[in-house]
Chains A and B, each alone.
Chain A
Amino acid sequence: MTTATISLRKIDECRWEIPTDYDPGMRVPGLIFADEKLLPKIRDDQSLKQVANVAHLPGIVRYSLAMPDIHWGYGFPIGGVAATDPDEGGVISPGGVGYDINCGVRLVRTSLRESDVKPRLRDLVQQLFNHIPCGVGQSGAIRVGCEEERKLLVQGARWSVNRGYGVPDDLEHTEAKGCLEGADPDVVSNRAYERGRDQLGTLGSGNHFSEVQVVDQIFDEEAARVLGLEKDQITIMIHSGSRGFGYQICDDFLEVTRRALQKYNITVPDIQLACTPVNSPEGQRYLGAMRAAANYAWNNRQCLMYLVREVFERFFGRSWQDLGMDLIYDVCHNIAKFERYKINGKEKMLCVHRKGATRAFPPGHPELPKNYQSIGQPVIIPGDMGRNSYVLVGTGKAMEETFGTSCHGAGRAMSRGAAVRDARGRSIERELEEKGIIVIGRGRKGVAEEQPSAYKDVNEVVDVVHRAGIAKRVARMRPIGVIKG
């Protein structure tokens, strides 16, 4: 099924509107950031219809937004952004955050050059693969009892740092300092606790990965200098989320909100958009649980980074501090947060849903670490395992237009089935190795499903974001070593 029938109004080269007269239930228009090159692919699935569906949500403000990496999700498209006003009956929707609550990426710099790594690259990637639990049924090295699990849900990544899995500077360079206030361990189901217990410090599978990269292009010298990035430098990227703990919370609360629709007299065009007023007991319970999952995810990425630092320490026989392995930044891309924006001249506290979208705050924003005040928040964009990833910085324009939000990745262009069929008779690992990229995956079809051509070209996605001005390019990396679940 396609959405070719949705007629878009072109605003400029990078902006397209779905007018409210497309569907009488739309409370606000849809606004899609894309160019002529990306649009045909976006029209291939039902994501534009999903942008229009999101515009039905009670209390939605200004626009139902879509980033250029938009693709078909559940209820919300991946790459969808929506802000609701709790004072105007605004809702919170678990589907607007997704199953993998606080799925996100972190980028670690090193003082190593490509030439330091290249001769023993396969060995290094193998050691990362051996040391970092990934794929189906793998337990984490860091197991926690119920009491500890409750603590980490409230404390966020500080819990890991207090146990020696990092340093306070890591927290300074994590979105929200690695902790959302208001997490409520009492509203978390036993099933979520059970699923979370042995998964701390595990990568997972699907699109999650850990990657060794080389900085291959600098676009903004000054911002790159502040971030400690130079051409030919080795960086490490980690992409994972809240694991079974978060999936279970989403599952639990999709059920709660589905059943509460009638109680609050809300109708939604798709049951996966089930939602409840922010200011309702169900809404508050979901927020308490979602924040707990967000805090779980930050602990998970913190523990994963600890494992990466351990591998590098052993491999190079030097401490991670000596190897310059500082955290550049950690961003989440599946979350709902309360943030202040001016709406019709009046400052409002809005509930901003980012489903496959990254916060992109401008220079001078009080939530940024001191050393990034002059450049804006780093926006970390993973691409696919064969092409590139990016670091951008947030802008004032994003604050005006997109509730301080930018894209989150390349976005899928091919279904998993199509990618496996496309890879039949080929070895994706060998093809990538010929390009100088070592990939080790655990699942039998994981690498085929995640092959580069299954994704849109991240360069095109980032180009739109940059041209639209909702984030600014700083540096581009290319992968040389990838581990997948």
Chain B
Amino acid sequence: MIEAIDIHKSFDDKEILKGISAGFEKGKTNLIIGQSGSGKTVLLKSLVGLHDITSGDIRYDGHSFLELDNTAKKRLRQDIGMLFQGSALFDSLTVEENIRFPLDMFTNWSLEKKRERANFCIDRVKLENANNKFPSEISGGMQKRVAIARAISLNPKYLFCDEPNSGLDPRTAIIIDELIQEITKEFDMTTIVNTHDMNSVMGIGEKIIFIYQGHKLWEGTKDDIFHVQNKELEDFIFASKLFKKIRDNNI
């Protein structure tokens, strides 16, 4: 479980996060949703320690992240996998080397064992014939799969995904969403997904937090999101013509 407790984050004089508190549950896909510029990515990056928060606390299974010393932080980070918006694969390494990278850095396993683990992760994300290709030689969807495989190679407890299906076609986006949800269940991870895609919300949103201009405005599940009386959330959900049509026709 990951808890955000009254998180404030400012860049110079501009306050981006204005006192966000939320709990992200183990074994579930927790979604942070909101418009572009609402502070989703800043919140996600603050939770993993890429941004130092101005005030508040972040707790991983009850332990304050801010109170950890460097060694403990480093150890915790080996339990974190992250899928970046642009995949963030290392250009100079092949697909297999990218997935093996965390194993090369943090294990003393033999090359054979590391390759075995990398191939397990490759199979798990259903990648075929891509081991020796470079990131620039594969499609966006495949890059996301490689990034997921890399994120799970060390068997992490926590998985963070920053807009995992941005830039993907709707079919591939659904496949990636499903993969994230399957992996979350299979490895019993605490997964936090940042998205503004309503298809993802309806597909994998077991717990949803809506952020608006740095505030948390709503928290719930995909089952009750359509029944909320909140103008900002309604504007966000029904910005899509399809969802608007569904609402207007009472489907």
- Answer yes or no: are A and B bound together in one complex: no
Residues of A within 8 A of B (CB): none
Residues of B within 8 A of A (CB): none
